[in-house]
Structure 1
Amino acid sequence: MADRGDFATLLRAWRDRLHPSAVGFPDGGGRRAAGLRREELAQLAGLSVDYLVRLEQGRADRPSEQVVASLARVLQLTDPERDQLYIAASLPAPHPALVPRHVPGSIQRLLARLPDAAISVFAADWTLITANDAWRSLLGSFDGEQNLAVREFGGTGPEVIRTPEDAERFHRSLASDLRVASIRYPDDPELPALVARLAATSERFAQLWSEVEIVDYRAPRKTFVHPRVGPITLDCDVLTVNGTDLRVVTYTAEPGTDDASKFALVLTLGVESMKAE
């Protein structure tokens, strides 16, 4: 195991290496160094600046797996670099038999450089890993519960106008995706816990899970109900990142339509627009 000082050294070096524009920050403004500022890294990783300072100075005791995973994602580390950071934090590196949650730098740059498209990245179990500002402006921040299946079967998911048939296909596809993930990652302890939680709280999910059905369904368009702008119909694409099972979900508006005008207004209003007056 590497000593605690290595973690601080790696963190500082990789923060200095990451160009601000790679995560959506301007690279001007009188920067003294080419890399990210501490405040920027803390903001993106969901940490306090004080805690990040203590990590970089080797004074913080044993960062959690969630903290290290968040830092590895924001710093756009390669898989070997991510593993090195875990080991330096006295944590086991992510096992290949677990659901992948590390987002490659190329995908993170995609989120930063396409501000007019709502883009999110989900793990194979439909847990939200990251999303850009446009996605949060459209759908909210997913505060608290990060799993789409839990939100959908619990009735707290994004408000979407669907026909009963479409809703049925969507629910079947979610249960199916979780079954496929359980088959691919049988050693991941979070998957059976997630399935058990869903089955205990949703009779509909329990029924679908008992049917052991494997289906593949993706709606090409979705109509969301935004609390300030109203119904917006957007094109939906779900892309799979090679070798990771990550799902990149994108929502875009057809140019020149009323929906494009509504979507532009949503982006202007920002994340606060999700809070109904």
Structure 2
Amino acid sequence: MASSRHDFATLLRAWRDRLSPADAGLTVTAGRRAPGLRREELAQLAGLSVDYVLRLEQGRARNPSAQIVGAIARALQLSVAERDQLYRGAGLLPPRDGTVSTHVPAGIQRLAARLGSVPVGVFAADWSLVWWNTLWSALLGDASQLPPSEGNLARAVFGDGAAHAAMPPLRHEAGQAFEAMIVADLKDAVSRYPQDVQLDRLVQESRALSDAFARHWDTETAATLHSSSRKTVQHPRVGEIRLDSDVLVVPNADLRMVTYTAATGSSDAEKLDLLRITLEATEDVTASGKSVRKT
């Protein structure tokens, strides 16, 4: 076990030094000496405390969970082979084939990071949120504050736990068609990942909790094609904001990239810009104070 902790710490430090902050969607300031990510930046991207990252790199934090290792692998934009190496370094078995992958390829992360003026969230095949930018958090809430099992769109829509409670007042003009799309996607995922225990638990719990979910599950026969839709968010800072929601499917990675946009010059675009400007001002203040914001 001591050897595994040493291997994990070595890999963590080496891969943190390798990743450009620009590729991670972070602002690079003049006079920066570190070529890779700072420790606090990795903590921010992975939703961890700086102290915990320090203890991991020093080999003092024992037995990181699979969820933590997965979050670090995504934050460091590791390849699948490197991700598996990091799992083994932590004394864990890498994710098995035949289960829903939460791995986000580096190219997808770089693409999403460059859409800084647009709220972007990346979801796995079971609609678990696995990557999001700061504007997504500003619009819809910080998913890193949720328990790992609750960071799922199906739980937010059909459940009664933390994910549902944290979801801002939101009206989807597609109505039941939106719900049907989520359920149809989950049915498709179950057919392709029959050995995934967490996916099966999500479906069984959702069917037990929600009559609407059970009704859709019993009637939907095929995955619904994703299309543009309109959503209205009642935001505590900018008020009601109507946005176009688009789902971009990443086939080879089995991911869904969700974006929210508004027409240029519209009042909704102005409200989104206000959120972004407020967010940037907050980041400037916290950076000068050496404190950390979670992504």
Q: TM-score, normalised to structure 1's length?
A: 0.90
Q: CA deviation at 1:257?
A: 1.8
29 and 173 in structure 1: CA distance in 2 versus 1, 3 angstrom threshold: same
Deviates most, 154-163 or 89-98: 154-163
TM-superposed CA distance for 1:123, in Å, is 0.8
- The answer on 1:173 being equivalent to 2:174 is no
The equivalent residue for 1:154 is 159
* Stretches of 4+ aligned residues off by more than 4 angstroms: none
In 2, distance between residues paired with 1:53 and 1:266?
32
Task: Summarize deviations over 1:20-64 as a string: whole Å, max 9, x none.
Answer: 111122333433320111111112112222221221122221211
* Amino acid corresponding to residue 38 of structure 2 in structure 1: R
Distance 1:208 1:91 in 2: 37
Q: Is 1:35 matched up with 2:36? A: yes
How much has 1:75 moved relative to structure 2? 0.5
Name the counterpart of 2:273: 264
Q: For residues 214 and 158 of structure 1, do their structure 2 counterparts lie closer, same or farther at Cα, with a shift above 3 Å needed?
A: farther
CA contact (8 A) 1:169 1:217 kept: no
Q: Which residue of structure 1 lines up, in the alignment, with residue 256 of structure 2?
A: 247
Contact 2:120–2:259 (Cα < 8 Å) also in 1:
yes
Instruction: Evaluate the alpha carbon distance shift between residue 96 and residue 26 of structure 1 in structure 2; reply closer, same or farther with a 3 A threshold.
Output: same
Structure 1 residue aligned with 2:196: 188
Instruction: Give secondary structure in 1 for the equivalent of 2:257.
Output: strand
Given candidates 222, 228, 231, the residue that maps to 1:223 is 231
Matches of 1:114 and 1:91, distance apart in 2: 34
- The aligned counterpart of 2:92 is 91
What is the letter of the counterpart of residue 52 of structure 1?
V
What is the DSSP-based 3-state SS (H/G/I as helix, E as strand, rest coil) of the residue aligned with 1:22? coil
Offset of residue 266 of structure 1: 2.4
Separation (CA, whole Å) in 2 of partners of 1:16 and 1:112: 19
Partner in structure 1 of residue 73 of structure 2:
72
Q: What residue number does 1:13 align with? A: 14
The letter for the 1-side match of 2:91 is: S
Q: Residue 235 in 1 paired to residue 240 in 2?
A: no
Q: Structure 1 residues 32, 152: CA separation in 2 closer, same or farther (over 3 Å shift)?
A: same
**Residue of structure 2 equivalent to 1:26:** 27
Please name the residue that 1:58 is paired with.
59
**Alpha carbons of 1:9 and 1:239: their partners in 2 closer, same or farther (altered >3 Å)?**
same
Deviation string for 1:220-251 (max 9, x for gaps)? 23232223323322222211223121110011
RMSD value, Cα: 2.1
3-state SS of 2:93 partner: coil
Can you list the C-alpha shifts for 1:89-117, whole angstroms capped at 9, x where unaligned?
Answer: 11111112110101111122223222111
Q: Would the alpha carbon gap of residues 162 and 246 (structure 1) be closer, same or farther in structure 2, given more than 3 Å must change?
A: closer
CA distance in 2: counterparts of 1:162 and 1:4, whole angstroms: 47
Quick check: 1:137–1:269 contact (8 Å CA) kept in 2? no
> 1:19 touches 1:27 (CA, 8 Å); kept in 2?
no
CA distance in 2 between partners of 1:218 and 1:246 (Å): 13
Q: Which consecutive unaligned segments of at least 5 residues does structure 1 have?
A: none
- Paired residue secondary structure (1:19): coil
Give 1:269 shift.
3.5
Counterpart Cα distance in 2 of 1:46 and 1:215 = 32
Alignment length (residue pairs): 270
Secondary structure of the residue aligned to 2:253 is: coil
Q: CA deviation at 1:217?
A: 4.3
- Give the TM-score normalised by the residue count of structure 2: 0.85
Could you tell me whether the CA contact under 8 Å between 1:254 and 1:260 is conserved in 2? yes
In 2, distance between residues paired with 1:10 and 1:215? 40
- Residue of structure 1 equivalent to 2:285: none
Measured in 2, the distance between the counterparts of 1:97 and 1:213 equals 22
Report deviation, 1:208. Answer: 1.6
